[in-house]
Amino acid sequence: MGEEELTKEQKLEAARKKFEELKKKNKKGKKKGKNAKKDQSEEPKGEDEADDEDNNKKTSEVPEDQGEILETEDPALDSQESEITPGKAVEEDVKDATDKVISVVKEEEGQEKKESDSKDEALQNEEEVESKENDSEKVIWTTEEEKLNAETKAEPSNETKKDKISSLEDILSNEQGEESTFLTSTLQSSVDLIKAENEKLQEELRKIKAENVDLKLINADLEIELKDSQNCLETEKEKVKRLTQQLRITKVNAPHHVKSSDEDDGVSVLSGTEYLNHTTSIKMLSSSAKDLTKRLIRSKFGLNHQRLNSTANSNKHTRVIGIDLGTTNSAVAIVDPITKKPQILENSQGTRTTPSIVAFTQSGEVFVGEPAKRQWIINPRNTFYATKRLIGRKFDDNEVQKDVKLMPYNIIPSPNGDAWLSTTVGENLTYSPEQIAGFILKEMKNVGEKALDLKEGELKNAVVTVPAYFNDSQRQATKTAGELIGLNVVRVLNEPTAAALAYGLGSNNDGVIAVYDLGGGTFDISILDIEDGVFEVRSTNGDTHLGGEDCDNILIKWILDKFKTNTGVDLNGNMNAIQRVREAAEKAKIELSHVKKTNIDLPFITKTKSISYEITEDELDTMSLALIEKTIAPVKKALSDAEMDKEDIDEIILVGGMTRMPKIRKTVETFFNKKPNTNINPDEAVALGAAIQGAVLSGSVKDVLLLDVTPLTLGIETYGGLFSSLIPRNTTVPCKISQTYSTAVDGQNSIDINVYQGERPLVSDNKLIGKFKLTDIPPLGKGIPKIEVSFDIDADGIIKVSAKDKDTGKVSSITVFGKSGMSKEEVEELIKKSKESTKEDQQKISYLKHVNNLELICFDTEQAMKDWSKFMSEEDVNNIQRHIEIVKNIISDSRKGDLFNVELIRAAQEEMKQETLDVIMRAAKKSKENKGK
Ligand SMILES: Nc1ncnc2c1ncn2[C@@H]1O[C@H](COP(=O)(O)OP(=O)(O)OP(=O)(O)O)[C@@H](O)[C@H]1O
């Protein structure tokens, strides 16, 4: 018998018995019928619902009916019955219900019923009824559990009770079995799932633990590395110091010069090769020390370094604008305090850049920007533009002299020789380029205040950009320009570095970038490493007198020459005409970046003649080729200083209006063999970057660390005209380096500190950028006073040099400014010469060291004579004095450059030793014996 059939049989049997029971109950008491009727008439309910209802009923009705509800022999069944019993169902009610059910069952189980009927004719009617009642219950059962409960309601007869129970148990166990199988399998799969999840979690946990261990290890490693780096740095610093001092050994006694304080007397002279080796070692050690310093900065302070600065400064510099003080155009920007994005502030004309032009009028007005540009044709002598090219330069500077010839305004020498400007109108007839820059800065400050709806004077702080290749005097002049108008220049920032900030901030632009910045007056190239918000300048180079103005000048010359050829009229000297030509030339240059050819039309350039020339892009390219190619040499130098190949550059960023010129883009692309990135606005990037740096300083932008460099090597003059380099070029700023020197002669009570910038070993080949004197040194023996000379370059690249007498604590210092800057040609020339003449330089240095050593011996001999000459014969004394005189003459002639003979120096040194050493030793011995008596 199948499981299904058995269940059915059992159900039928249970239902029949229940029917019998109900009939019996109905005969026993009428009371029960009420409840039964009520229950039967209701809609079928869920088990819980039914239970609740029954319980409620029990509360209200059971006390009266208790004991009558069920007559069961089996207390277990009784208790079940009591909960689900139909109660007082009358026979009619049951029959009604049964009749209703019959029709339903017929519909649903017609076929099944027919088979069942044919089996037993006698029982058919009764069984049919019972079966249908059973089925009727089946219809209203809603759950397996209800079905089970209902089945257990039926009262089994005595003889079948056991079987029924066991059948029910079977059903139960079968159904439970099925359910349990189902539940078991569900549970099993849940368990499996949980197990799998658990394993995953365990795995994750193991990984996290392992990572944690790794992190701890990394942390420990970093700590060790940091300590190692610190130790290494110290050791290497020591090595650098030792080697540097060794190199100074031969710098001896002479007034106005200094020498190392080390116990250098008697140490042998270095050969050229030794010198070379030492300088190479120093270079390597310095660069490794530099790397270590950077690593230390990063690992020790990391981004916090800058953040700390920012926080410390946040109160001081609340709102810091960024100003690009350009040769041709200036721009101002600020970082939005909410979005943290930099934005350009528009001027009152609604333009985003302002011409860097200042004009003085007959009526005493001062125009700045667009209004100044509008009147420059009618007022050329008093309209100053491109004056940034003069800032920090001397009048006799070659570059200045070029401008003197070309510019319509007057450039004159100031009392201290600087290049100044003169007007023909107004109260002040002369202005320094710093003052002109001050007018422009003031205008940019006004633009900022208006755009930000601030009152005049409420914007106090600015980051102002300068070309990276500006020297310290030019930087200082820019700062001064700010001070002149009451603007606190919180940072002087290099233009390409600013552009890199604008490019790299908040983007995933990590990598090595080259910023090629060709503006109106200057060219800069910087190689930067951007990594996680750290902008590290690897090297910088450029030309502070190369830009769009030069291109305009070429075109002006082309127009003027053509006009002269065509008409015989020379427009040179006609300032109004030249100004018109200048304007037309720049316009044509800009147009040719977008079209292949254009016209230069200047009607009535003279009373009777006009200009109308066509010019093509190719013609302009040919004219400006030399100028464009001039930018490549600094690019190569910057790459070599950064110790990189062009292939190492991930991205080339073009900055400055001139980089819109297709020929320039092509030249850059050809050189790098890579398309440059033109996504950033070349006119605005610098101001935007300056604003970012301003926000960093005010603390509103975090996680940005700038590591900029000094563009040129700095040092002082030491004995014999040697250049003692303290800070090599491309050293990360800010930085401070100290070195101890001493006096060169007995009783020397002052020393001159001559500060030079350059790449050559002799000061005469470098640029003097400042000098000062440390006086009141107690008159002691040579080499005894300890004079500490310190170079301090701040983040603006401005140098402070100080000298301190360590014994007395007296300090003298200078902030290097007011000296002329070097032109690109001068720098190039210096670097070229330094490479070309290395051999010659080495010979000179080696010779000077021989001379210095001879001088030391001579000095010691003189000292010995003071102490022991009384123990010598007269003949010996005269002989030694004679030798001292000869040697002094040799030294003097060598110093003057009249003598250059190493052999003679060596011979003199040898002879001096032979003639004096024994005599002096004997005298010293006698002196000792005398003392003993
Ligand atoms: N489309 C163009 N094609 C060629 N040259 C252009 C174009 N647009 C602008 N220039 C030139 O770019 C120069 C101005 O560039 P920019 O404003 O970047 O320089 P600047 O910041 O004033 O100068 P610097 O950075 O040298 O101090 C001008 O010489 C201008 O003629």
107 CB-contact burial (10 Å; exposed 0-12 / middle 13-18 / buried 19+):
exposed
Residues 6+ apart with CB under 8 A from 750: 773, 774, 775, 776, 777
496-531 per-position pLDDT tens digit: 999 999 998 777 778 999 999 999 999 999 999 998
> 453 φ, ψ to 5°?
60, 45
Whole-number Å distance between alpha carbons of 376 and 371: 9
Whether 388 is catalytic is yes
Is it the case that residue 283 has pLDDT exceeding 70? no
Pocket test for ligand 1, best of 328, 497, 663 (most atoms within 8 A of CB): 328
pLDDT value for 867: 85
Helix (H/G/I), strand (E/B), else coil: 908: helix
Ligand 1 neighbourhood includes 770 CB (under 6 angstroms): no
Is it the case that residue 376 has pLDDT exceeding 50? yes
Q: Whose CA is nearest to atom 18 of ligand 1?
A: 656
DSSP string, 648-670: G-SEEEEESGGGGSHHHHHHHHH
Residues 415 and 508 in one domain: yes
In Å, how far are 252, 524, 575, 823 from 409, measured between CA atoms?
51, 27, 9, 22
Whether 291 is catalytic is no
Residues 512 and 649 in one domain: yes
- The catalytically annotated residue of 251, 290, 388, 479 is 388
Pocket test for ligand 1, best of 327, 373, 582 (most atoms within 8 A of CB): 327
pLDDT value for 550: 95
548 CB-contact burial (10 Å; exposed 0-12 / middle 13-18 / buried 19+):
buried
Q: Which residue would you say has higher pLDDT here, 885 or 247?
A: 885
Q: What is the mean pLDDT of residues 270-298?
A: 55
Residue from 523, 525, 386 nearest 823 by CA? 523
Domain assignment of residue 597, given as a range: 549-629
Mean pLDDT score of the chain: 75
pLDDT value for 626: 96
Ligand 1 neighbourhood includes 624 CB (under 6 angstroms): no
Count of CA atoms in the C-beta half-sphere (13 A) of 356? 26
Contact (CB, 8 A) for 358 and 375: no
Q: Whose CA is nearest to atom 28 of ligand 1?
A: 520
The two structure tokens encoding residue 175: 């159904």
Helical H runs in 779-901? 824-836, 838-868, 874-896
The two structure tokens encoding residue 726: 């303290």
pLDDT value for 712: 81
Contact (CB, 8 A) for 280 and 690: no
Exposure b/e, 158-190, CB count within 10 A at least 16 = b = eeeeeebbebbebbeeebeeeeeeeeeeeeeee
783-836 per-position pLDDT tens digit: 888 899 999 888 877 888 999 998 888 887 776 543 334 444 544 554 455 455
In Å, how far are 13, 459, 483, 501, 542 from 486, measured between CA atoms?
110, 10, 5, 27, 30
Centre of ligand 1 from the C-alpha of residue 321, in Å: 22
Domain annotation covers residue 217: no
Q: What is the mean pLDDT of residues 75-82?
A: 34
Residues 519 and 463 in one domain: yes
Give the Cα-Cα-Cα angle 537, 400, 411 (nearest 5 degrees).
130
Report the percent of the chain where pLDDT is more than 90.
Answer: 31
Domain boundary among the residues 601, 629, 657 is at: 629
Domain annotation covers residue 776: no
- Give me the count of residues in the chain: 933
Ligand 1 neighbourhood includes 548 CB (under 6 angstroms): yes
Helices and strands in the chain, H and E counts: 25, 29
Where does the pLDDT of residue 292 fall: very low under 50, low under 70, confident under 90, or very high at 90 and above?
A: low
Ligand 1 neighbourhood includes 834 CB (under 6 angstroms): no
Of 445-459, 460-474, 825-839, where does mean pLDDT reach its minimum?
Answer: 825-839
Domain annotation covers residue 348: yes
Centre of ligand 1 from the C-alpha of residue 697, in Å: 28
> Which range has highest mean pLDDT (92-101, 102-111, 206-215, 236-245)?
206-215
Domain annotation covers residue 714: no
Whether 121 is catalytic is no
Is it the case that residue 913 has pLDDT exceeding 70? yes
- The catalytically annotated residue of 93, 130, 133, 517 is 517
Q: Whose CA is nearest to atom 10 of ligand 1?
A: 657
pLDDT value for 117: 47
pLDDT value for 864: 87
544-554 per-position pLDDT tens digit: 889 999 999 99
Centre of ligand 1 from the C-alpha of residue 110, in Å: 99
Q: Which residue would you say has higher pLDDT here, 477 or 16?
A: 477
Domain annotation covers residue 246: no
Is it the case that residue 670 has pLDDT exceeding 70? yes
Is it the case that residue 645 has pLDDT exceeding 60? yes
Pocket test for ligand 1, best of 329, 344, 443, 686 (most atoms within 8 A of CB): 329
Domain annotation covers residue 387: yes
How many Å separate Cα 176 from the centre of its chain?
70
Where does the pLDDT of residue 399 fall: very low under 50, low under 70, confident under 90, or very high at 90 and above?
A: confident
Domain boundary among the residues 113, 128, 156 is at: 156
192-225 per-position pLDDT tens digit: 878 887 888 888 787 777 766 666 666 666 666 6
Ligand 1 neighbourhood includes 474 CB (under 6 angstroms): no
Ligand 1 neighbourhood includes 494 CB (under 6 angstroms): no
Centre of ligand 1 from the C-alpha of residue 682, in Å: 8
Residues 571 and 661 in one domain: no
Residues 481 and 400 in one domain: yes
ipTM score here? 0.99
pLDDT value for 177: 63
Whole-number Å distance between alpha carbons of 439 and 804: 39
pLDDT value for 831: 46
Q: Is the pTM of this model over 0.90?
A: no
Ligand 1 neighbourhood includes 717 CB (under 6 angstroms): no
Domain annotation covers residue 660: yes
Residues 616 and 525 in one domain: no
Ligand 1 neighbourhood includes 542 CB (under 6 angstroms): no
Residues 344 and 392 in one domain: yes
Domain annotation covers residue 634: yes
Centre of ligand 1 from the C-alpha of residue 350, in Å: 19
Ligand 1 neighbourhood includes 690 CB (under 6 angstroms): no
pLDDT value for 457: 84
156-191 per-position pLDDT tens digit: 445 555 565 565 556 555 655 666 676 677 777 777
Residues 433 and 464 in one domain: yes
Ligand 1 neighbourhood includes 783 CB (under 6 angstroms): no
In Å, how far are 582, 621, 869 from 548, measured between CA atoms?
12, 13, 74
Ligand 1 neighbourhood includes 582 CB (under 6 angstroms): no
Q: Whose CA is nearest to atom 21 of ligand 1?
A: 326
Strands 320-324 and 461-466: parallel
Residues 6+ apart with CB under 8 A from 26: 32, 33, 89, 90, 91, 94
Q: What is the mean pLDDT of residues 129-148?
A: 39
pLDDT value for 16: 63
Looking up residue 645, the CATH number of its domain turns out to be: 3.30.420.40
List 541's β-bridge partners, or say none: 525
Residues 476 and 508 in one domain: yes
Of 309-313, 548-552, 612-616, 801-805, where does mean pLDDT reach its minimum?
Answer: 309-313
Whole-number Å distance between alpha carbons of 833 and 837: 6
Where does the pLDDT of residue 71 fall: very low under 50, low under 70, confident under 90, or very high at 90 and above?
A: very low
Centre of ligand 1 from the C-alpha of residue 471, in Å: 22
Looking up residue 553, the CATH number of its domain turns out to be: 3.90.640.10
Centre of ligand 1 from the C-alpha of residue 548, in Å: 6
pLDDT value for 85: 30
Residues 449 and 563 in one domain: no
DSSP assignment letter at 424: S
Contact (CB, 8 A) for 136 and 105: yes
Is it the case that residue 296 has pLDDT exceeding 60? no
Q: Which residue would you say has higher pLDDT here, 722 or 53?
A: 722
Domain boundary among the residues 682, 708, 734 is at: 708
Residues 681 and 578 in one domain: no
Whole-number Å distance between alpha carbons of 783 and 740: 11
Residues 843 and 895 in one domain: yes
Number of domains in the chain: 4
